[in-house]
Amino acid sequence: MLRKVHALRYRATACELLGVPSVSTTPLPSSIATPEIRRSVTATTASSIVTPLRWCSTNSNSSNAVDGNASAQTSSSSSPAAASQQPKRKVQIAVVGSGPSGCFVASQLAKRHPSLHVDIFERLPVPFGLCRYGVAPDHPDVKNVEKQFMELFQSGRVSWIGNVSIGTQIPVQALLAHYAAVVFATGAGGLKKLRIPGEDLAGVLPARSFVEYYNTYPFPFGSPRFCPFDVERTKRVVVIGNGNVAMDVARVLAGSYKYFCPTDMNCVCLREMMKNKIEMISIVGRRGVNHSAFATAEFRELTKYQEGHVKVEVDPFALDAAIAAVPEGKTARAHKRMMELVHQYTVSEEAFAEERAQRMTDSEGIPLPSAAVAQLNAPPPPSVASSPSDRTPSVRADKRGPCTLRFRYNLTPVAILPSQHRRNCVGGVLFKTCRTAGAKSEEGESEFCVIPCDLVLTSIGCHAESIADIPFDHKAGVMDNVQGRVKGMPRVYCSGWAKNGAKGVILHSVVDAQETVSHLLADMEAGLIPTDATVVDEEQSPPPQQQQREDEVHVTDGQLQWLKVESQAAGGADTSKAVPPAAARTTMAGKYGLVDYFVEKKLQPVSVAGLQRILHVEHQRGVDLGKKAEKIDTTRDMLDVALGGDVGKKADERIRRITPARSDAMMYLKELLDDDTDLAPLAHELAKDMPHKLAQQHPLGRISPGQL
């Protein structure tokens, strides 16, 4: 009996978070409330009344279609004649992933169809994906789109549901049972590997691990409190890949920590970057300079970045040949402008030839007789000694020396070599070179060279992660789809990097979202997506075994028809007279149909009201630290803040380190002293009477971060 009471209390809490109306005024929808649940909820009505929260919306004027349907069900239960006057339930669409792509899909759906309601599901307690955890902290203008997304969540047409993982906590078939269609915009969470010897050495890590570190990707998904490498020992860095992510990490490692203090960079990262003494960063590309993956604006920003402290150098190349070789996807004018800009920072041919002669090795990484890796075998310099006492006393600990950014091309990594002094750590990277600039690595006469380094960051791309029951193309690293339609799964779509792979910038997601939404709406007009509830009543449903066999037949028919529609759409045939697939069974209850999953899995969904509490605490924490914002670094703290009330208040005090109570002696401080009195002597006296824990939390003489 006690276990049943706890289950009922949790159901009441879940219903409150879901925005389900109070049991004293409006019952749960019949599609999600069994007779046993109704009797249990009715029995506890007298002892506990739940005041509902609006789901993912703070606008009191906005209305939810399912709320209106629930109230209509109450009247229809008392009067059968009123059932015919029941307002039609809006078409429910589910979007999985609240990054830029998912938000753009929801925005396009709400804009282009007035009878749609969109629910966005997010694995984390906070939305925005790449905007929040992928964009560099010194690019706040790129994050301005977050304000547009917040307005979308509060419009009443789109609901955001955080801390819910689709595919693990809630199966995909459960979404299809309560939604007309499902759109996956889950991004590209998988990382590509070099698959070369030595990749498991200490000091070899993906560049995204460092990006997630300084962007405070929350625990347990990330480790924002621990730097993934030893900053104090690092003097030389090799970044394999030259895309925008490589440019971001190079800019963070090359610059001074003071440049990032006003941003929302992780304070733990700022403290680690104070130890930064990196002198050389090599950004290596496998192909020629004409195939550079970075944008012109990114390179121009790097050339003007902390001038006098950061120096940019590029391997020499033939400008005319590079301009003539226009890569696919670029215009000749833009490509020429970028090549002319990059060519201004090339080193001389003599210096390049001398440097290459010193680094030449054989295919095993053994130096040629001319001496190749003297720096690799040399002892570490005194400035990177393990203990602070070994440093030169004349050098300040926080002083940042100059740093050189070197762009290298036509180098393919062959192996990662260990250090001669620490065999389990990286000491250099063996590359295979090509004599002809712009030629493929497999062509022409190959040579080998070694670039010494203490850290290797790989930025060679990423791929989408497979989701249970969703067809996946492992070779391409994307969901198996045709123009956004997932193959073999009616009413399932994909968009963004899950559809096309990890390429392009945030604004490219707009065009891709428009294409996916256009196909979804076209299928809806063709009758392939239901616009009303099509599920049969529970009393008329066949036995479970028979129902399972029939569902298998229906799904097979739907898959065959879906493939037929895909081929017709690809050939430009008319699909307006297509027949809806038999597998299109949905209650059209939307998120209300998932209440049982929330209760069974004991999930804690986060609404927009909870999201606003999280963002408010992060902003206030930033004010305390004298910066724009300071992100919360654990999902547990986010969930506590999102709950509000006493739990949220305690979490706020814990995160911001606010003293919950003062010593009694501090209450009389204002009456005992004048405004001109020096408080330092009295503060020391009062500290003797303060509780021990309170004194530990607030040590005397500590300078607040805002005064740095």
More confident residue, 569 or 515: 515
Q: What are the pLDDT digits (tens) for 186-242?
A: 999 999 999 999 999 999 999 999 999 999 999 999 889 899 999 999 999 999 999
pLDDT of 568 reads 53
Q: For the residues 545-565, what does the mean pLDDT come to?
A: 41
> Per mean pLDDT, which range of 284-293, 406-415, 443-452 is the poorest?
443-452
pLDDT of 78 reads 39
| 196: nearest Cα among 371, 439, 456, 374 | 456
Q: What are the pLDDT digits (tens) for 655-683?
A: 877 654 444 444 444 445 455 555 556 55
Percent of the chain with pLDDT over 90: 46
Angle (CA) 686-689-691 rounded to 5° is 115
Q: What are the pLDDT digits (tens) for 280-324?
A: 999 999 999 999 999 899 999 999 988 888 999 999 999 999 999
> Per mean pLDDT, which range of 243-247, 388-392, 465-469, 609-613 is the poorest?
388-392
**What is the CB-side half-sphere exposure of residue 463 using CA atoms within 13 A?**
15
Q: For the residues 18-31, what does the mean pLDDT come to?
A: 44
pLDDT of 73 reads 41
Q: What is the DSSP string of 1-24?
A: -HHHHHHHHHHHHHHHHHTPPPTT
More confident residue, 664 or 469: 469
Q: For the residues 18-37, what does the mean pLDDT come to?
A: 45
What span, in angstroms and rounded, lies between the C-alpha atoms of 185 and 162? 15
- β-partners of residue 436 are none
Q: For the residues 615-623, what does the mean pLDDT come to?
A: 91
- Strands 403-408 and 360-361: what pairing? unpaired
What span, in angstroms and rounded, lies between the C-alpha atoms of 491 and 178? 12
pLDDT of 15 reads 56
In this predicted structure, the answer to whether residue 480 has a pLDDT above a threshold of 50 is yes
Q: What are the pLDDT digits (tens) for 264-282?
A: 998 999 999 999 999 999 9
Torsion angle of the four alpha carbons 579, 583, 584, 585, in this order, in degrees rounded to the nearest 10: 140
pLDDT of 667 reads 45
In this predicted structure, the answer to whether residue 455 has a pLDDT above a threshold of 50 is yes
> Per mean pLDDT, which range of 441-450, 575-584, 599-608 is the poorest?
575-584
Round the average pLDDT of the chain to a whole number and report it: 76
pLDDT of 159 reads 94
Angle (CA) 206-211-213 rounded to 5° is 100
Q: How many CB atoms lie within 10 A of CB 567?
A: 11
pLDDT of 389 reads 38
More confident residue, 703 or 135: 135
Q: What are the pLDDT digits (tens) for 61-104?
A: 343 443 444 443 433 343 444 444 455 678 999 999 999 999 99
Torsion angle of the four alpha carbons 267, 270, 275, 279, in this order, in degrees rounded to the nearest 10: 160
Measured in whole angstroms, the distance separating CA 316 from the mean position of its chain's CA atoms is: 37
In the three-class reduction of DSSP (H, G, I as helix; E, B as strand; rest coil), residue 416 is classed as strand
Q: What are the pLDDT digits (tens) for 624-646?
A: 888 889 999 999 999 999 998 88
CATH code assigned to 196-381+397-459? 3.50.50.60
Amino acid 706 reads G
What span, in angstroms and rounded, lies between the C-alpha atoms of 439 and 444? 8
Q: The tokens of 648 are what?
A: 């949220």
Q: For the residues 317-346, what does the mean pLDDT come to?
A: 89
In this predicted structure, the answer to whether residue 414 has a pLDDT above a threshold of 70 is yes
In this predicted structure, the answer to whether residue 476 has a pLDDT above a threshold of 60 is yes
pLDDT of 564 reads 53
Q: For the residues 594-604, what does the mean pLDDT come to?
A: 89
Ordered by start, the domain boundaries in the chain are 2-189+464-601, 196-381+397-459, 610-638+650-707
What span, in angstroms and rounded, lies between the C-alpha atoms of 256 and 362? 38
Q: For the residues 409-429, what does the mean pLDDT come to?
A: 92
Confidence band of 126 (pLDDT split at 50, 70, 90): very high
The burial of 659, by beta-carbon neighbours within 10 Å (0-12 exposed, 13-18 middle, 19 or more buried), is given as exposed
In this predicted structure, the answer to whether residue 549 has a pLDDT above a threshold of 80 is no
Q: Where are the beta strands (DSSP E) in 437-520?
A: 446-452, 455-458, 462-463, 472-473, 478-479, 481-482, 485-486, 492-494
Q: For the residues 136-148, what does the mean pLDDT come to?
A: 90
* pLDDT winner (highest mean) among 5-19, 381-395, 478-492: 478-492
Q: What are the pLDDT digits (tens) for 686-700?
A: 555 544 544 454 444
What span, in angstroms and rounded, lies between the C-alpha atoms of 205 and 415? 14
For the segment(s) 2-189+464-601, the CATH number from 2.70.170.10, 3.30.930.10, 2.60.40.10, 3.40.50.720 is 3.40.50.720
What is the 8-class DSSP label of residue 308?
T
